Amino acid sequence: MTQTNNNMTVNPDLAMERAKCNFNVLEVTHIFDGGERNTLQRKKIEDVALNSGASKDALGEEHMSPKEKYENAVRKSCIYATMMKNELAELSGLESFGVSSPVIRRTADAFFKEVSPFLLHLGMFVPTIMGQCTPEQQSYWLPRALDMQIIGTYAQTELGHGTFIRGLETTATYDPETEEFVLHSPTLSSYKWWAGGLGKTVNYCIVVAQLYTKGECHGTHPFIVQIRDEDTHVPLPGIKVGEIGPKMGFNTADNGFLGFDHYRIPREHMLMKNAQVLKDGTYVKVARHGKLTYGTMVFVRVVLVNEVAFNLAKASTIAVRYSAIRRQSKPKPDEVEPQILDYVTQQHKLFIAIATAHALQLCSTWLWESFSAVLAQMKGGNTDTLPEFHALSSCLKAISTSDSAHLIEQCRHACGGHGYMISSGIPNLYNFVSATRTYEGDYTVLLLQTARFLVKAYEQAEAKKPLTPTVSYLAHAFSGSRATWDNSPDGIIRSFQALAAGKTAVCVTNMRKRMRAGLSQVDAWEMSTIQLVAAAEAHCRAVIADTYRKEIVRLTANSSPNVKVVMDQLTTLYLYYWALERTGDLLMFTSVSQKDLVDLQIAYEELLLKIRPNAVGLVDAFDLRDELLHSTLGSYDGRVYERLMEEALKSPMNKEPVSDAYSKYLRPMMKGKL
């Protein structure tokens, strides 16, 4: 066993990997964090939040009953929220604590193997108050929410409808006599369903309901609604609320249901930034864009790209470290069993996960900056950039969550049987991230939103009208010849854009054909949706590839030579991987030949070998403390087998030498006395 500086006993294979790494790990950490200052600030926050040991459980969460798990999660949420109000608020340098800080959010992961019941309070309740309230409403609600005097959630989805918001059934009918809204759930399918924290934790929620005033329906609007007594926490009369039951993950989030029986709230509890109902019941539209009430969803879609990048970084750290200590099979009889990381197929499974974590992390920062610019313009009354941003955030949310879920599962495959243990950390990561593909807008549904934008942009390009930046490549779609293949990074990115343009053109052509053949526009669109989803996916891959490449070139401009090399290798790997995944499309839409593709495969395999010696260094650069990983397989010291055994011995099943099930069932059955 090798000793490190701080006297930690480290598995010798991992120690060897670290000795072999040829680049400065800290420099890459700074790139991933967005600069040295951010790294220092993150570390300070982690030290304060995690060094006290407050995040630890006496008994592993996985051995608790559902009720114990929930109560334990509330206990730790309260500890963490108190830390946020006190020590962490100042350190995080945020005006309003925690609300948009990925570091605060990530540090919280040390406290929860699943999720906090407060996630929706900070993730959607507070952002909705910030985004949908008038200044007067904000000054009343925001301090109470930030100080955790009230805890809230976001109740939009109903039993009958999640995707189709316009189809929601909950009604909010204005009564000018009492200046109140009457909230009502007219059917079983109108019951709110899913909101995180609603089951047992929150006392307030944002409710999205169909607004009726003066006998007219004005569509869905948000309302802030008290559902439990602020002192006793008992549900208020007219409210039917509870928890929806066990799920694949999110089992500490007490997702809930909620129904209203003619439940009254004051007029001022409608969130009135974008639309108002006056005392006499007159409806006044304030916003210049009809979809601004969907703003919180757009915010969360942006946040999620960062969230899944972080979770993928965790899974790849676990799987790469484990692959460095795990030895299996004997391809060369005279040599020792190799580390499984030496198998090229293993590298193929894992290095794309590292590269994707980088790509998504950098895209998320870029997306956040674009979002801030759109918000700043909207403050000045200009909503022109919103359609492009909605299209962009929709596809990035869809692809980042779907790719991350797939790659986390691939990391589990890479860990063999031990990856299936809860204690490996990977099942919880997968259960969490696979939900992100569905919530906040399902994958297919969001890609079809992007496709709407692409088709419109294509028609603009056809009419030689100006295009917005992310689709400017469509201007080249009418050259009449296939894009020229060239295997440089810029050449591959141009090919990805040609794929997206080509697929969009095919969709438009097919829809026009179908309409000429007599189909309505809606039916022609529906018949083309498989290809429209593929076009939007191709567009998103082009955007991610282009952004990742540009950002890495920019961020490594002053890096040391070896960091430049390894970062360049990772971006190239990302481009080769996706080119090889899409060979059929490249053959359709570019001049690539069979020989070019065979050469590209060989170049890809050689690149894997070049990255191999730096693999552990690359995941170390994510700088994920053991407390965040929650993993027997991925800890920094690589004491995998010791940890697996330690965890197994904690199982309550091992507390008694003979299980009660023996005398109750096994013995009678074996003795023929059952």
Ligand X SMILES: Cc1cc2nc3c(=O)[nH]c(=O)nc-3n(C[C@H](O)[C@H](O)[C@H](O)COP(=O)(O)OP(=O)(O)OC[C@H]3O[C@@H](n4cnc5c(N)ncnc54)[C@H](O)[C@@H]3O)c2cc1C
Ligand Y SMILES: CC/C=C\C/C=C\C/C=C\C/C=C\CCCCC(=O)SCCNC(=O)CCNC(=O)[C@H](O)C(C)(C)COP(=O)(O)OP(=O)(O)OC[C@H]1O[C@@H](n2cnc3c(N)ncnc32)[C@H](O)[C@@H]1OP(=O)(O)O
Taking the least distance from each CB to ligand X, the nearer of 223 and 604 is: 223
In the shown chain, the binding pattern of residues 360 to 399 toward ligand Y, with x for contact by CB under 6 A and - for none, equals --------------------------xx--x---------
Is residue 270 close enough to count as binding ligand X by CB under 6 A?
no
Beta carbons within 10 angstroms of residue 182's beta carbon: 18
Among positions 99-118, residues that touch ligand Y (CB under 6 A) are 99, 101, 104-105
Among 218, 439, 487, 588, binds ligand X (CB under 6 A): 439
Residues 158-161: contacts with CB within 8 Å, 24+ apart? 158/189, 158/190, 158/191, 158/192, 158/193, 159/188, 159/189, 159/190, 159/191, 159/193, 159/257, 160/187, 160/189, 160/190, 161/189
For residues 321 and 424, the answer to whether their CB atoms sit within 8 Å is no
Buried b (16+ CB within 10 A) or exposed e, 549-584: bebbeebbeebeeebbbbbebbbbbbbbbbbeebee
Active site residue 440: yes
Is residue 531 close enough to count as binding ligand X by CB under 6 A?
no
Given the residues 180, 388, 440, 551, the one annotated as active site: 440
604: Cβ contacts below 8 Å, ≥ 6 apart? 573, 576, 577, 580
The piece of 71-79, 296-304, 413-421, 657-665 that touches ligand Y (CB under 6 A) is 296-304
| Residue found under tokens 């020792």 | 336
Is residue 654 close enough to count as binding ligand Y by CB under 6 A?
no
The piece of 120-128, 329-337, 341-349, 513-521 that touches ligand Y (CB under 6 A) is 120-128
For 283, the 3-state DSSP assignment is strand
The Cα-based distances of 52 to 49, 56, 101, 184 in angstroms read 7, 9, 21, 47
For 212, the 3-state DSSP assignment is strand
For CA atoms 196, 200, 205, 211, the dihedral sign is positive
Among 52, 86, 163, 282, binds ligand X (CB under 6 A): 163
Is residue 155 close enough to count as binding ligand X by CB under 6 A?
yes
Taking the least distance from each CB to ligand Y, the nearer of 121 and 267 is: 121
Among 174, 207, 202, 211, smallest CA distance to 192 is for 207
In the shown chain, the binding pattern of residues 102 to 131 toward ligand X, with x for contact by CB under 6 A and - for none, equals ------------------x-----------
Is residue 300 close enough to count as binding ligand Y by CB under 6 A?
yes
Is residue 250 close enough to count as binding ligand X by CB under 6 A?
yes
Token couple for 504? 């969009």
Taking the least distance from each CB to ligand X, the nearer of 131 and 162 is: 162
Taking the least distance from each CB to ligand X, the nearer of 190 and 556 is: 190
> Which one of ligand X, ligand Y, none is in contact with 89 (Cβ closer than 5 to 8 A by kind)?
none
The HSE-up count of residue 102 (CA atoms within 13 Å, CB side) is: 20
The piece of 189-197, 220-228, 389-397, 639-647 that touches ligand X (CB under 6 A) is 189-197
Is residue 539 close enough to count as binding ligand Y by CB under 6 A?
no
Is residue 213 close enough to count as binding ligand X by CB under 6 A?
no
Among 133, 168, 195, 277, binds ligand X (CB under 6 A): 195
**What is the chain's Cα-based Rg?**
27
For residues 501 and 477, the answer to whether their CB atoms sit within 8 Å is yes
Bridge partners, 217 (sequence order): 212
Taking the least distance from each CB to ligand Y, the nearer of 341 and 454 is: 454
In this structure, the chain runs to a length of 674
Is residue 440 close enough to count as binding ligand Y by CB under 6 A?
yes
The piece of 38-46, 178-186, 289-297, 590-598 that touches ligand Y (CB under 6 A) is 289-297
Is residue 157 close enough to count as binding ligand X by CB under 6 A?
yes
Bridge partners, 223 (sequence order): 207, 270
Taking the least distance from each CB to ligand X, the nearer of 255 and 528 is: 255
Report in angstroms how near the CB of residue 523 gets to ligand X at its nearest: 13
Rule CB under 6 A: which residues touch ligand Y?
98-99, 101, 104-105, 119-120, 122-124, 154, 156-157, 162-166, 196, 291, 294, 297-298, 300, 303-304, 307, 386-387, 390, 439-441, 445, 449, 452
* Residue ranges that bind ligand X, judged by CB under 6 A: 120, 153-157, 161-163, 194-196, 250, 255, 435, 438-442, 444-445, 448
Any idea which residues carry the catalytic annotation? 440
